[in-house]
Structure 1
Amino acid sequence: MKVIALIVQSINGRITKGSDEKVYQWTSGEDKEHLKKMTSKASLIVMGSTTYEAFKKYIQLSPNTLRMVMTSQPEKYKDDIVIGQLEFVNKSPKELVEKYEKKGYKELLLLGGSKIYSSFLEAGLLNELLITIEPVLFGTGTPFIESHKHVSLKLVSIEKLNDKGTLLLKYSVYPS
């Protein structure tokens, strides 16, 4: 299964502005369009519970897309479950990929946050990174990755999204 991490960050690598996890407040319209495009064509989307909480009111469920929220407390979200569209699991990245690969899924879109990106990276499961870099600097905030694992990447493409300098970088991950 191909695992694609979809990331938006500041120039200095922060995915949150300080402790404010409302990413949509500082990202460009072009990044929002990119997110919408990627999520609308995905059949399997995985995110952590913090990302889910931040975007909960913006998520539009569809019978064509399964959204999985990785959490250590899936029972906390029992009232949010929509079978086949929004589910909550306490599984490792490897278990998740194996389970859904067996069900015929070919691609997994990873939406974050930092702990989720790091856990898939540590497990050697990331194949591609799509990183939107917004032209802002944050003194504090959550880094996009918390892993200490060394990973080699190959730049596949760069696209300038707007006149402010928002960039979309596409990297492939070299197998370790």
Structure 2
Amino acid sequence: MEGSIVRDGFHESNRFGYNAGMRCIAIAAVTIDGKIALDAGHFSDWTSPEDKDFLHEMLDRSDVVVVGNNTYKTALEPLSKRNCIVFTASVRTSEHKSNVLTYCNPASSDCIPLIEKYEKVAVLGGTQTYTYFLENDLLDELYITVEPVIFGRGLNLFQSTEDVLAKFRLESMRPLNEKGTLLLHYVR
């Protein structure tokens, strides 16, 4: 696969020279049909209370949260209290907006130096943000909550224009409630 990204799931040091102590952890809720939202402005009110509890626990243990601009706007109130890097085309390169908020344009600036200052990076999406981390071989772990819901259409977790083969292994799977919500944890 010429021009594609391939990383052996058991080879820890293949990170293109990035901060070796950095752990990038994608956290996502998906429907049974693999959608993270109906559209870019869709608020995640369709996820279970148990998923929300898990998300808050993970964010509390993270040094920084990386989100796309639409995701940030959708969850502005809870995210404004956290250390965030927001991927957006509204800035040319990167801009520090406050002590806890930095905007970065991944199309015109290398955001990786901003991100690799942190040890534990929570990646919250949306699709373009998850895909950026996948295409740049940055994802170390994925926590995927599968909710027993079907949208029939909507946004995928990843939408790459490149051939990507990133191998993960299932570390754990556990039910979050009696309604059928499952939490899957994948690692490299």
Relative to structure 1, the CA distance from residue 159 to residue 55 in structure 2 (aligned partners, 3 Å threshold; closer, same or farther) is same
Q: Is contact 1:18–1:139 with CA below 8 Å preserved after alignment?
A: no
**How far is the alpha carbon of 1:19 from its aligned partner?**
6.1
TM, length-normalised to structure 1: 0.83
- Matching residue within 124, 135, 139 for 1:126: 139
Distance in 2 of aligned mates of 1:87 and 1:131: 26
Q: Is contact 2:30–2:36 with CA below 8 Å preserved after alignment?
A: yes
Residue 9 in structure 1 maps to residue 30 in structure 2:
yes
Q: Is contact 2:41–2:74 with CA below 8 Å preserved after alignment?
A: no
**How far is the alpha carbon of 1:99 from its aligned partner?**
3.5
Residue 73 in structure 1 maps to residue 73 in structure 2:
no
**How far is the alpha carbon of 1:88 from its aligned partner?**
1.1
Q: Root-mean-square deviation (CA), in Å?
A: 2.2
- The AA in structure 2 aligned to 1:17 is L
Deviations 1:6-64 (A, max 9, x none): 010001100003565111x1000001101111112211110000111111133351xxx
**How far is the alpha carbon of 1:96 from its aligned partner?**
2.8
Deviations 1:44-89 (A, max 9, x none): 110000111111133351xxx52110111138xx8x93x2212211
Distance in 2 of aligned mates of 1:58 and 1:34: 15
SS in 1 for 2:26: strand
Q: Is contact 2:105–2:111 with CA below 8 Å preserved after alignment?
A: no
- Matching residue within 60, 63, 69 for 1:43: 63
Unaligned runs of 5+ residues in structure 2 are 1-21
Unaligned runs of 5+ residues in structure 1 are none
SS in 1 for 2:67: strand
Distance in 1 of aligned mates of 2:48 and 2:26: 19
**Structure with more helix by fraction:** 1
TM, length-normalised to structure 2: 0.78
Aligned counterpart, 1:95: 110
